[in-house]
Chains A and B, each alone.
Chain A
């Protein structure tokens, strides 16, 4: 496929690597979109009396994003350890390579 004979780093295009990078990116985007949606539902007042985020809302957003990250990590670790305990490490390596 590539003139340089395949998967060496200095070479041309490796579709496997592109696909892996794309999957990682899509996963990160998905996490981000869900995070935005969740934290908006939890933190932002839907009366929309004002176009600015209040101080309370801003603080809530900061904490919510941080917490979501922690939750993400914890759930990932739990899934991995459960899968490994269930025998054979069914899920393979952690998808948490963010």
Chain B
């Protein structure tokens, strides 16, 4: 995102807005991750406690998703930068 058209006061305000948004996004990420992992991993309700298999699955799910998210974010940033460069060259 290009903030060069904004004055420094506006940029400061945008930074604040972005920080708040990031916190909200993190909370959303957390709750959607719980739902995602629960849906995939927990399908046996013969017992209330988590089985060791379910525990392992949940841990793997969470870790895997975070690694995936990191990779996707990196690729996204690369593509975005490339596209912005192409637009500026036009």
A interface list, Cβ under 8 A from B:
9-14, 17-18, 21-22, 24-26, 28-29, 32-33, 35-36, 39-40, 44, 46-53, 57-58, 61-62, 65-66, 69, 73, 97-98
Contacts and interface: CB of A to CB of B under 8 A. Distances in A.
B76 A35 contact: yes
Interface of B: 1-3, 5-7, 9-10, 13-14, 17-18, 21, 25, 37, 40-41, 57-61, 63-65, 67-69, 71-73, 75-76, 79-80, 83-84, 87
A39 B7 contact: no
A98 B40 contact: no
For the residues of B in contact with A, the DSSP-based class is: helix
Contacts of B6: 17-18, 21
Contact of A13 (B9, B58, B60, B76): B9
Secondary structure type dominating chain A contacts:
helix
Contacts of A97: 2, 87
Q: Among A17, A48, A49, A65, which residue has the most Cβ atoms of chain B within 10 A?
A: A48
Q: Which of B40, B58, B61, B79 has the most CB of A within 10 A?
A: B79
A36 B28 CA distance: 13
B72 A35 contact: yes
Nearest to B69: A36
